[in-house]
Structure 1
């Protein structure tokens, strides 16, 4: 009886303990649930930090890059704080979406922002069998929460915020919109914010053109863009392995077959890295000039609410006149020729004790360097830091680690800042612009050889002495005023314009470039006079017209005449002008006497596609069609039997200069098939070389020289415009004509219905049969 009672008491005690345990369990469980609910509520109320409002969820804040488009639809570059250019879901390749879901969130279409199964698995196995963050949670983290804290408690609270935001996002957006927002927001490094930027930077493609393995590389980077970056040499193997994991996940989720998986995993890792930094990519100098254009436009065109547009975050779309293919050909032509020209210049400077300078004293060289120091960014920064002049100068003599430019690639070295100034003074630069005369559309703009190291733009910003390229303006004035013909003749003899005439303070007697006795004997036609750039002929013409009509003409042609003195010597090109001015002025001749202001922006849109600006052409009649046509006819003579004959045939194929310096020669532009009008120009001591060349629907100007005029070739052979600048034009035009899609004209220049001025000199008693035998080296001044 006692034993039975004891057993009963034990059973009763067990039941009581079980009841207590059960009560405790459910109490703890309820408390846990309540705590979780409370944490959710507190997080949603913003106790753990601010939560996004409904309006913020509706319009999540993003910094959208402004995109610059070429006339043929290519992206030239962007302005941004974050290089993000949004893309629509329908423009994403299906395999990219599938790779994303298979790797990051297999049950994406089944949950409402939180994957319960994944969360439990992550909690039980402490994340060793995969995380629990859904794509929506990752988006919430990117949009509205800070980076993960190292503090475990803070990380847990942040997770609650992510869960709440994720569920709100799921209610606010479709699954497709969430995927699009996530891929548009993610930072893939190297200024690649968003999948469109990433596709362009890592593969030089639009997302829709990515193949499966390329999509897998980008999805692989979502785990860690540093550790799995295909551009970083030390992480390429990681990138390859992670890419193959993504492919395996795609096969496991039936997006690709096992055979496709095996085949794709065998492929090597291939990227085409195309950085889009502000110092990199195509049309860098043009993009900086465009930036200034946009700054002015923004000041004059406020938003509807009165605010100002921001090119770094408003996602504007700027449509330009630049043709990406022509821009590429122009940059290639400049790079090819200047690299070779530099090599020859350096060779000729080996025994020059004042290299890279010539014709100046040591005192003058020191002044050049001192002036460069004072203009430098280094001087400005140190001055703003409060350093004295003496301290700043001393810093220029302190060895410093730096990266310097070379034509064989950038060099990491140690030198003093003063020595680096000497080093950079030796480099030749170029400015080149190409435009359509009939529309004013600028098609190519090359402001220098390397924007990262040489910021100065030699198209619009730089102005240099133009030499003989100014002479056609004198000839055009004479034709317009005096009705002269290219067949009319003038003496080659010396001509003096006396002091007091045309504003001259002293007698002016220009000499011809050859310096031989027969350079001043006999008569010469105007066509031959311009082709051979005979100074005495040009002097006679401006003596008859006067300098003021010439200045009036060039002003109408879009040239700034403020610093051009009203004296006869301007006829030989003493004025400093820009490539931009010269090309637009010459274009007027091809456009039958009508000046068209150069166009760089055709349209501006906001991020929604609303047109904010539409270009309206600005034109004016400057000279008659007949005068324009006759001037073009004169300029054709330059390439037929003047300094431009290098563009015709291959007469100099064995010339040592062309073997060592000129790439792409011979150009072989057929005289009958491709009419070319143009003019070379060379300034004193060969400091500046010019060539402006035109075909019926394209005008292109090139300038070549060093930063300082005392850096130049010792002889005219290498230093003339026909040697320094013309080869860039020839190389560029060969590439342009080879691209049949560009439709660059080959036919004759447009001729007015009525031409009263004779241009055919073959029946005019003028013998020019020997002109093609003249060597261009003798003709270029």
Structure 2
């Protein structure tokens, strides 16, 4: 009020100077009774107008939307804003959003008090006392607008719309077109004011300002103060404090997000290739300089607005004079780069995991509208940000190395999955290198695992037919005639030092990944390939397209458009060496059985889903039921065999001298079309797979293989291509963790194997 009256006196002194030639003003000045009569008339009409204004706005006519429906002003009526659903990692860090509008609604108690004070000071000082429309503010705005027609400066440009009226526009914007388009008409203003009066009468002021702070648009794609603080300052309003400068910036952007945005939008520098004539070049440079100057001027206006908000807070007693002086932006002071930390809305590292979260919920009956508009869910997942970030960084770098020197059409892609063995929690997942470029989820693609499937063949032989490490199996060629006279003559992978034909130890068959020995082992079992398929099924490997099933065949995860009946492991010999297509997630989870002493747990991605305020539970994942599908003896032996793979087998080069104990199986499919590695520690199972999206053969990777093996003629295999990546990821994960060891029994089995083969490998 102090500013209002001081400016009023300034106005009375200023008007005669501006328009003293007007005779009627001279008369008023020289004849006091005329002056008193003049002001009496002004006051009378002001009061009469105010009374009529309130009566009409309060009592006359029904208030309806554009469809003729009466508006609901009750406290229970839901705010008309769209809600964002948030995806959280296991440490409650936000890793994803599903939205049409980015918004994180807060309760009023969660909003910093000074942020609320700043907004009221700047937008509507009498918010808690006026009836919905601030008449003095309306009169001030009308007088100011009239005087500006005569080029008379009076106060700062200010609108008549207080918080209740602004809230009305936001709240009913989807029901009343006038509010959405912000058309400058008297009818819109009248309707807006009438609705504001009704809202204030039917709702608490606290509810109105709570909704208002959640609805306002603050630029850069975010709505509401919670997302604004996170986007611009990287702060979570539920636990972080805002500085006064940050408050002034957020409050200012409610007025105009584009004008008062604190981010310097540097114009694109012109590309001058020297071919333009000097005049054109000069024109381009001047345009660039003009755009740069325009942006600097905009930031100057923005800084003035921030200071104005602080002044208003000072006038309202929200801050002290000392706080104002130490906080305000000085003239020509650049905005501190540390103040603004524009945080991206999306993080591509979590794109594929978030897509699976969405598909999981859609398969559970949640609608797209609930996820992106109305639900505002809080989705708590098992994803571990440390593990995901390590794997994503190394995966991206590794793909760059693999594709170095290749033509675009020959470039390969891949996927990875990391699962915690003790719980079945999915810690990290990616279906490709760039989710924004292609949303094809390769972690759920049905592809041949090649030799990565062989452990299930050996597990079946050990579990159901008591085969041991040193039982003999035949590494012998054979042929089979399939339907219509097709001849199948499987071969071993070509290598420099192949295992000779003849009878070999069962352990050698897996450690050296020998196709013929594995096939003959399966044929020696009473039920042949069926035993292998049933064992794999019991461990959760089904091979159905677009789904992941549990040990009992129940669908745990389903992609949209799949019923879970297509595909499936074929009961045939090619399957025992990886000839049937499976998805990466189901196979990686099956590997956890080996590292869990033979116990199957279905995987878990979502722990629970709550409402927008984190109170009501919408969905909660059942604790996975432990089911013994292998004996602990068989499981330990399989882990020991895969430990031997890292010592004397196909992963010995990539895992040489690794500090964290690890067990692995490499995979190379026919062609090869896919290369992979499947590794485990006592805590996690980690899997990487690479291939071409069109299923074409990976002919060669000359640049990568030369750097990795020293020769461009080295064959492309899972050990060479995927092994080094798995090694780096495991090293980084355990860099700051305590190293963990396998059980004494596993290490005893490993010693048996390494001692037997120490002279042969």
Once the two structures are superposed, what CA deviation does each residue of 1:530-574 show, in whole Å capped at 9, x if it has no partner? Answer: 232222332332122221100111111112255433222323221
Q: Select 2:411's aligned residue among 427, 441, 448.
A: 427
Indicate whether 1:519 and 2:499 are aligned. Answer: yes
Q: Secondary structure at the match of 2:691?
A: strand
Once the two structures are superposed, what CA deviation does each residue of 1:221-272 show, in whole Å capped at 9, x if it has no partner? Answer: 2121233334544586435641453245325533223023257955424543
The answer for the alignment partner of 2:513 in structure 1 is 533
Contact 1:498–1:504 (CA<8 Å) still a contact in 2?
no
Q: Select 2:141's aligned residue among 122, 129, 137.
A: 122
| Cα 1:131/1:51, change in 2 over 3 Å | farther
The answer for the alignment partner of 1:412 in structure 2 is none
The answer for the alignment partner of 2:690 in structure 1 is 704
Taking the aligned partners of 1:692 and 1:316, their CA distance within structure 2 comes to 35
Structure 1 residues not aligned, in runs of 5+: 1-13, 347-355, 357-422, 650-667, 772-781
| Cα 1:135/1:592, change in 2 over 3 Å | same
Taking the aligned partners of 1:565 and 1:267, their CA distance within structure 2 comes to 65
The answer for the alignment partner of 1:375 in structure 2 is none
Taking the aligned partners of 2:46 and 2:542, their CA distance within structure 1 comes to 84
Give 1:488 shift: 4.5
The answer for the alignment partner of 1:475 in structure 2 is 458
Q: How does 1:353-752 map to 2 (within 5 A)?
A: 423=408, 425-460=409-444, 462-488=445-471, 490=473, 493-496=475-478, 509-514=489-494, 519-520=499-500, 524-545=504-525, 546-561=528-543, 562-607=567-612, 609-616=615-622, 617-649=624-656, 669-670=658-659, 674-710=660-696, 712-714=698-700, 717=714, 719-740=716-737, 746-750=739-743
Give 1:167 shift: 3.8
Give 1:583 shift: 0.4
Contact 2:675–2:721 (CA<8 Å) still a contact in 1?
yes
Contact 1:57–1:172 (CA<8 Å) still a contact in 2?
no
Q: Secondary structure at the match of 1:702?
A: strand
The answer for the alignment partner of 1:656 in structure 2 is none
| Cα 1:332/1:96, change in 2 over 3 Å | farther
Give 1:70 shift: 1.8
Q: Secondary structure at the match of 2:627?
A: strand
The answer for the alignment partner of 2:163 in structure 1 is 135
Q: Secondary structure at the match of 2:403?
A: helix
The answer for the alignment partner of 1:224 in structure 2 is 256
Q: Secondary structure at the match of 1:648?
A: coil
Taking the aligned partners of 1:197 and 1:189, their CA distance within structure 2 comes to 10
The answer for the alignment partner of 2:213 in structure 1 is 183
| TM-score of the pair, normalised by structure 1 | 0.73
Greater shift, 228-237 or 539-548, is seen at: 228-237
Taking the aligned partners of 1:735 and 1:463, their CA distance within structure 2 comes to 29
| Cα 1:134/1:624, change in 2 over 3 Å | same
The answer for the alignment partner of 1:64 in structure 2 is 83
Taking the aligned partners of 2:111 and 2:243, their CA distance within structure 1 comes to 11
Taking the aligned partners of 2:412 and 2:698, their CA distance within structure 1 comes to 9
Contact 2:666–2:678 (CA<8 Å) still a contact in 1?
yes
| Cα 1:211/1:702, change in 2 over 3 Å | farther
Q: Secondary structure at the match of 2:592?
A: helix
Taking the aligned partners of 2:635 and 2:266, their CA distance within structure 1 comes to 59
The answer for the alignment partner of 1:376 in structure 2 is none
Taking the aligned partners of 1:467 and 1:552, their CA distance within structure 2 comes to 18
| Cα 1:48/1:324, change in 2 over 3 Å | closer
Taking the aligned partners of 1:750 and 1:614, their CA distance within structure 2 comes to 34
| Cα 1:152/1:334, change in 2 over 3 Å | closer
Q: Select 2:102's aligned residue among 64, 80, 83.
A: 83
Indicate whether 1:325 and 2:380 are aligned. Answer: no
Structure 2 residues not aligned, in runs of 5+: 1-30, 149-155, 268-293, 544-566, 702-712
Give 1:71 shift: 1.8
| TM-score of the pair, normalised by structure 2 | 0.75
Q: Secondary structure at the match of 2:255?
A: coil
Taking the aligned partners of 1:185 and 1:622, their CA distance within structure 2 comes to 53
Number of residues of Structure 1 aligned to a counterpart in Structure 2? 640
Contact 2:58–2:197 (CA<8 Å) still a contact in 1?
no
Give 1:509 shift: 4.9
| Cα 1:228/1:569, change in 2 over 3 Å | same
Indicate whether 1:246 and 2:306 are aligned. Answer: yes
The answer for the alignment partner of 2:365 in structure 1 is 298
The answer for the alignment partner of 1:768 in structure 2 is 758
Taking the aligned partners of 1:197 and 1:153, their CA distance within structure 2 comes to 28
Give 1:195 shift: 2.0
Give 1:169 shift: 4.0
The answer for the alignment partner of 2:247 in structure 1 is 215
Give 1:676 shift: 0.7
| Cα 1:588/1:219, change in 2 over 3 Å | same
Taking the aligned partners of 1:171 and 1:739, their CA distance within structure 2 comes to 59
Q: Select 1:273's aligned residue among 330, 342, 349.
A: 342
Give 1:635 shift: 0.7
Contact 2:83–2:373 (CA<8 Å) still a contact in 1?
yes
Greater shift, 595-604 or 726-735, is seen at: 726-735
